[in-house]
């Protein structure tokens, strides 16, 4: 605001006189000496601290300007109110659109500012902000953030979760609050102190980038949980099957070729699932196509393995049946010996029979 006031004076060709004494009062204004006169320029808090009276007419003018969304600074000379300087805060481009997008995501939007309550509410009304914390000194912003965090902890929902407090800022005075918040978001055009204290820095000076950052963070966490699920489920299901837990009941064993293909598919799935973060539309169709190809290959391989094992079992059954019905082929010499022995027995039986007839 100081830069704006100086620029306005320069544009109006007003001569600027350097003060002989100067002091900045954080959250209140400035004080100094010009031509041996004590000068005060600031808000009501500064006037109250210096016990400077404000008449009713001046107060009415101040309220009118504040209702228009302007920040009013009171000029006092030698402890007497001498004039008013009103500065209108220019809203950042697309601020209303950014707030509306956060509302669509179910996020409550609040404004914390050092301006008076009338000015803050007037600005908040323009962009649709839900709640205003006004007249907050720079050193108290972090305290207010902490109070919000404690309040949200006390109002934990039925699922045992409290709301997360995020802070978006760009000034030096915002740095403590950015550090205190659960998530600190600094604007890229802001101060280095703010960017150092924040967890996230938006490169562009555009508040609309806040909602995509939140969406990307949520998508990242969903992807991490999904990757962990699929990585574990393959092992939880595959290891017992490979160990033969289903064999006593169904005669199913996991072929090593299928097991290796399944593990490769698990790794490929995790990689493709992570690539969706870069561009969901671009990689989703590719992922579906690859998954179908891999599943088709696995099904074909499994069918071949099952068919091979079935043929092997069938052949074993046939071989065992042939072994029971048809005796194994014996050597020729052994067959001749058996034939000679049988022929000898037959000859002896004939001789015995003939001898028996003669005796009769």
Strand duo 70-77 + 80-88: pairing = antiparallel
Instruction: Report the percentage of the chain scoring pLDDT > 90.
Output: 8
| pLDDT at 100 (0 to 100) | 92
Sign, Cα dihedral of 201, 205, 207, 213: negative
Q: Are residues 272 and 283 in contact, defined by beta-carbon separation less than 8 angstroms? A: yes
In DSSP terms, 167 is beta-bridged to 184
Contacts of 20 (CB under 8 A, 6+ apart): 32, 33, 34
Is pLDDT of 284 > 60?
no
| pLDDT at 156 (0 to 100) | 47
Which of these, 153, 149, 174, 171, lies nearest to 162 by C-alpha position?
153
Higher pLDDT, 280 or 320: 320
Instruction: Report the percentage of the chain scoring pLDDT > 70.
Output: 73
Cα atoms found within 13 Å of the Cα of residue 15, Cβ hemisphere only = 2
Backbone angles phi, psi at 191, to 5 degrees: -80, 160
Cα atoms found within 13 Å of the Cα of residue 324, Cβ hemisphere only = 5
Helix (H) or strand (E) holding 74: strand 70-77
Mean pLDDT across 111-125: 85
Q: Are residues 228 and 222 in contact, defined by beta-carbon separation less than 8 angstroms? A: no
| pLDDT at 159 (0 to 100) | 42
pTM: 0.58
Is pLDDT of 217 > 80?
yes
Residues of the chain with CATH 3.40.50.1000: 95-213
Tokens of 14: 């007003």
Mean pLDDT across 196-200: 88
Orientation angle between helical segments 280-325 and 256-275, nearest 10 degrees: 170
| Cα separation, 23 vs 36, whole angstroms | 15
Contacts of 146 (CB under 8 A, 6+ apart): 180
Residues of the chain with CATH 3.40.1110.10: 2-88
Tokens of 61: 């003018």
| pLDDT at 326 (0 to 100) | 46
Residue 90's SS3 state is coil
Is pLDDT of 332 > 50?
no
What is the CATH number that goes with domain 2-88?
3.40.1110.10
Please tell me the class of the 95-213 domain: alpha beta
């Amino acid at each position: 605001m100081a830069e704006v006031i100086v620029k306005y004076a320069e544009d109006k060709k007003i001569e600027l006189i350097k003060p002989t004494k100067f002091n900045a009062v954080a959250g209140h204004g400035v004080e100094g000496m010009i031509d041996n006169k004590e000068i005060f320029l600031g808000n009501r808090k500064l006037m109250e601290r210096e016990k400077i009276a404000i008449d009713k007419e001046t107060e009415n003018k101040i309220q009118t300007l504040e209702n228009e969304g302007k920040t009013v600074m009171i000029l006092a000379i030698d402890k007497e109110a001498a004039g008013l300087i009103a500065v209108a805060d220019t809203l950042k481009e697309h601020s209303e659109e950014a707030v509306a997008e956060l509302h669509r995501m179910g996020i409550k939007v609040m404004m914390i500012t050092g301006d008076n309550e009338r000015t803050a509410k007037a600005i908040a009304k323009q962009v649709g902000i839900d709640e205003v914390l006004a007249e907050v000194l720079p050193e108290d912003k972090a305290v207010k953030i902490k109070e919000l965090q404690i309040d949200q902890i006390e109002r934990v929902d039925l699922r045992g979760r409290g709301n997360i407090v995020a802070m978006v800022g760009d000034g030096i005075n915002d740095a403590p609050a950015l550090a205190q918040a659960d998530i600190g978001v600094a604007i890229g055009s802001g101060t280095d102190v703010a960017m150092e204290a924040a967890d996230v820095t938006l490169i562009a000076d555009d508040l609309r980038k806040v909602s995509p950052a939140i969406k990307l963070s949520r998508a990242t966490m969903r992807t991490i949980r999904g990757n962990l699920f699929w990585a574990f489920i393959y092992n939880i299901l595959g290891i017992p099957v490979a160990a033969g837990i289903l064999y006593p009941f169904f005669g199913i064993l996991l072929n090593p070729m299928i097991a290796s293909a399944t593990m490769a598919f698990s790794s490929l799935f995790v990689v493709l699932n992570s690539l969706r973060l870069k561009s969901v539309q671009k990689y989703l169709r590719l992922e579906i196509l690859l998954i179908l190809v891999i599943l088709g290959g696995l099904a074909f391989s499994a069918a071949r393995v099952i068919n091979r094992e079935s043929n092997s079992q069938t052949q074993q059954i046939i071989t065992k049946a042939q072994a029971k019905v048809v005796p194994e082929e014996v050597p020729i010499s052994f067959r001749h010996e058996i034939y000679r022995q049988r022929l000898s027995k037959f000859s002896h039986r004939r001789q015995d029979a003939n001898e028996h007839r003669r005796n009769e």
